[in-house]
Each structure stands twice: as C-alpha cells, then as structure tokens.
C-alpha cells in the first residue's frame, strides 16, 4: 500500500524543513495515491497487468526512474551548503508541489498495485458489491492520512526538528541512497508471475 520508508522520508523532511502545512499537503498526496491504488486494486489491475505485462513493465521502469531522480537530487544537495532550495513563488504553487511530491512518491511504487490487488483477492468476496470495495478504499485513505498526520505532528515539534537539522546532511544522503537503491531495484527486478 505504502512504499516502506519513502513516503515516511518525504513527510519527515517536509515536516522538519518546510513545516506542518507542507507535510500535510504531501500527506494528502500520499493518501490520494493509496486511494488510487486501492480503486485500481479493487477493479482488478493485477488482472490487467497479467493480460498486458508491458503495462507493469512501464510502471516499474517509470516509477524506478522517478525514484532514482529524486534520490540523485537528494544526495547531490546534501553535499552543498545547508541553505534550503528557494521556495515556490506562491502558496498555491508550494501546496500543489508538496501534494504532487506525495502523490508521485506513492504512485512510483510498482509493488503497490500487486500488493493491493492481492489483498483484495484474498479478503474480498468474489462478487463484492462496489460500496464494499469503495468503503475499503476510504478506510485505506483514512489510515494513510491518520498515520502521516501523526508523523507530521511529531516531527514538526521544535525539539525533534532540532535533532533532525543537526543530522540533516546524513539523513539526506541516506534518504537519497535509499531512493536510488529502491529505484534501481524496481528497474532491474523481474516481473512477478
């Protein structure tokens, strides 16, 4: 459902460096990605990927390249001055970029549709009514929002932020390497049967 660590790293960085508002915008983007995968899973994206394996391959490669790009940017920026990159020019632009970062980070995970569709296949009745599937998707959205909002609230506390800022360069380097490694894994991994 959620890329282990990557969504968390994004929300962590935004909560500490840009504040609660930015991290909560990313949280909504992440939860929207979770809901999108949930809807796709309920309606059988796994079946589609089995019927057209090139779609899964395209998602894997595109998602992997996106993660590699994000990782490279993080890693390179960790070696430069401690100044934060320039802010977006308007509040609306900043909100949309944080939301989009959360959404793309979640959607870039090619394992999410397989995981979610398998979850639905294992837990839902064969001819589940649409309202049951949509209720499950709504629950997934709510859990993602609740979890990342909690992370945001904790990590935007002044004491926690101070610790993060002291270790920021190393956290960014580790996060960049993690994004690149996961992206490489997605690009080079064989498709599931």
Q: What is the pLDDT of residue 85?
A: 43
Q: How confident is the model at residue 83 (pLDDT cuts 50, 70, 90)?
A: very low
| Contacts of 125 by beta carbon, 8 Å cutoff, 6+ apart | 132
Average the pLDDT over 64-73 and give the result: 85
Let me know if residue 52 belongs to a domain.
yes
Let me know if residue 152 belongs to a domain.
yes
Let me know if residue 111 belongs to a domain.
yes
Number of separate domains in the chain: 1
Cα–Cα distance for residue pair 122/126, rounded to 1 Å: 9
Let me know if residue 138 belongs to a domain.
yes
Query: Above pLDDT 70, what percent of the chain?
Result: 85
Cα–Cα distance for residue pair 26/164, rounded to 1 Å: 19
What is the domain extent for residue 166? Answer: 9-80+96-188
Total-model pTM: 0.72
Let me know if residue 1 belongs to a domain.
no
| 131 pLDDT higher than 80 | yes
Let me know if residue 37 belongs to a domain.
yes
Let me know if residue 15 belongs to a domain.
yes
Let me know if residue 87 belongs to a domain.
no
Phi, psi (degrees; rounded to nearest 5) at 4: -60, 115
Q: How confident is the model at residue 191 (pLDDT cuts 50, 70, 90)?
A: low
* Strand runs labelled E in 72-163: none
Higher pLDDT, 187 or 29: 29
Q: Which residues of 87-113 are buried (b: 16+ CB within 10 A; e: fewer)?
A: eeeeeeebbebbbebbbbbbbbbbbbb
Of 103, 78, 64, nearest to 181 by C-alpha is: 64
Residue with tokens 């929002």: 145
Question: Which of 55-59, 70-74, 89-93 is predicted with the least confidence, judged by mean pLDDT?
Answer: 89-93
Higher pLDDT, 2 or 78: 78
User: Do the beta carbons of residue 151 and residue 15 sit within 8 Å?
Assistant: yes
User: Do the beta carbons of residue 42 and residue 120 sit within 8 Å?
Assistant: yes
| 180 pLDDT higher than 70 | yes
């Amino acid at each position: 459902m959620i890329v282990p660590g990557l969504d968390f790293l994004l929300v962590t960085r935004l909560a500490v460096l840009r504040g609660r508002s930015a991290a909560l915008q990313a949280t909504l983007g992440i939860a929207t990605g979770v809901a999108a995968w949930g809807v796709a899973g309920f309606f059988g994206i796994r079946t589609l990927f089995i019927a057209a394996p090139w779609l899964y391959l395209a998602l894997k490669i595109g998602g992997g390249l996106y993660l590699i790009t994000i990782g490279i940017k993080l890693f390179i920026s960790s070696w430069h001055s401690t100044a934060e990159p320039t802010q977006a020019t308007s509040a609306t632009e900043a909100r949309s970029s944080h939301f989009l970062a959360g959404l793309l980070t979640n959607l870039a995970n090619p394992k999410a549709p397989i995981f979610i569709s398998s979850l639905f296949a294992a837990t839902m009745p064969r001819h589940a009514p649409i309202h049951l599937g949509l209720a499950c998707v709504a629950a997934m959205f709510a859990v993602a929002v609740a979890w990342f909002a909690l992370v945001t609230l904790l990590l935007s506390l002044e004491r926690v932020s101070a610790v993060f800022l002291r270790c920021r360069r190393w956290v960014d380097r580790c996060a960049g390497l993690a994004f690149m490694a996961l992206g490489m894994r997605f690009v080079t991994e064989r498709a599931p049967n």
